[in-house]
């Protein structure tokens, strides 16, 4: 199933401007998510959500690495003849996507903000995930599972990790 869906993304690679856009988004999207988490940590009003994002990132990275050890999967540019990586990358395991994880964290964090942030976050996160498929580094299922892990962790941590009334983050309820 992945193979046929993914070929739709790879076939669009004949348009140079889309290639450049997706290469840029794939190369910089996760860096923007990390920057957002750090910015959220800096401001007291968003510090708790930043800690939720940071904790989700650490936990999610550990989860994705464990899954990669248990379910090794070749990247599309290695396994599928028609796929050429638009960004050079070593041939490591692709499932689940760590950048999909970060995109999912981004979606979850912005979804928890009031107003229209959630829709922009959803659209941007989905574009980041699509860019990873487009550049040949991941299958669609890689980024969807990574995104699901990230978003789920954000929502679980947001509900379970306590905070003081002034927004200060606490790791344990006993303090």
Longest distance between any two alpha carbons in the chain, whole Å: 58
Would you list the domain boundaries of the chain? 24-159
CA atoms within a 13 Å half-sphere pointing along the CA-CB vector of 129: 28
DSSP character for 45?
A: G
Confidence of residue 139 (pLDDT cuts 50, 70, 90): confident
Quick one: pLDDT at residue 120? 82
What's the number of CA atoms in the CB half-sphere (13 Å) around residue 29? 28
**Nearest C-alpha neighbor of 139 from the set 83, 69, 65:** 83
CATH match of 24-159 with 1.10.443.10: no
> Which 3 state secondary structure label does DSSP give 163?
strand
Structure letter (DSSP) for residue 169: B
- pLDDT score for 171: 39
Q: Tell me the pLDDT tens digit for each residue of 46-58.
A: 888 888 999 999 9
Q: How confident is the model at residue 8 (pLDDT cuts 50, 70, 90)?
A: low
pLDDT band of 5, cuts 50, 70, 90: low
pLDDT at residue 3 in the model: 56
Q: pLDDT class for 72, splitting at 50, 70, 90?
A: confident
- Interatomic CA distance for residues 73 and 108, integer angstroms: 26
Euclidean distance between CA atoms 75 and 85, whole angstroms: 9
pTM of the predicted model, to two decimals? 0.81
Q: What's the token pair of residue 87?
A: 């960004």
CA 111 to chain centre: 14
Least confident of 2-11, 23-32, 63-72, 162-171: 162-171
From the list 85, 103, 107, the residue with the least C-alpha distance to 143 is 103
């Amino acid at each position: 199933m992945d193979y046929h869906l993914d070929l739709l993304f790879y076939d669009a690679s004949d348009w140079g401007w889309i290639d450049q856009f997706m290469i840029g988004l794939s190369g910089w999207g996760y860096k923007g998510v990390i920057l957002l988490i750090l910015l959220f940590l800096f401001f007291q009003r968003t510090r708790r959500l930043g800690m939720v994002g940071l904790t989700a990132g650490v936990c999610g990275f550990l989860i994705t690495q464990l899954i990669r050890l248990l379910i090794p999967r070749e990247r599309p540019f290695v396994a599928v003849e028609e796929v050429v990586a638009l960004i050079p990358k070593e041939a490591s395991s692709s499932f689940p996507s760590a950048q999909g994880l970060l995109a999912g964290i981004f979606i979850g964090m912005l979804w928890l903000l009031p107003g229209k942030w959630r829709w922009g976050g959803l659209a941007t996160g989905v574009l980041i995930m699509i860019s990873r498929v487009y550049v040949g580094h991941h299958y669609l299922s890689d980024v969807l599972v990574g995104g699901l892990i990230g978003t789920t962790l954000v929502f679980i941590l947001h509900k379970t990790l306590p905070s003081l009334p002034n927004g200060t983050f606490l790791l344990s309820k006993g303090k």
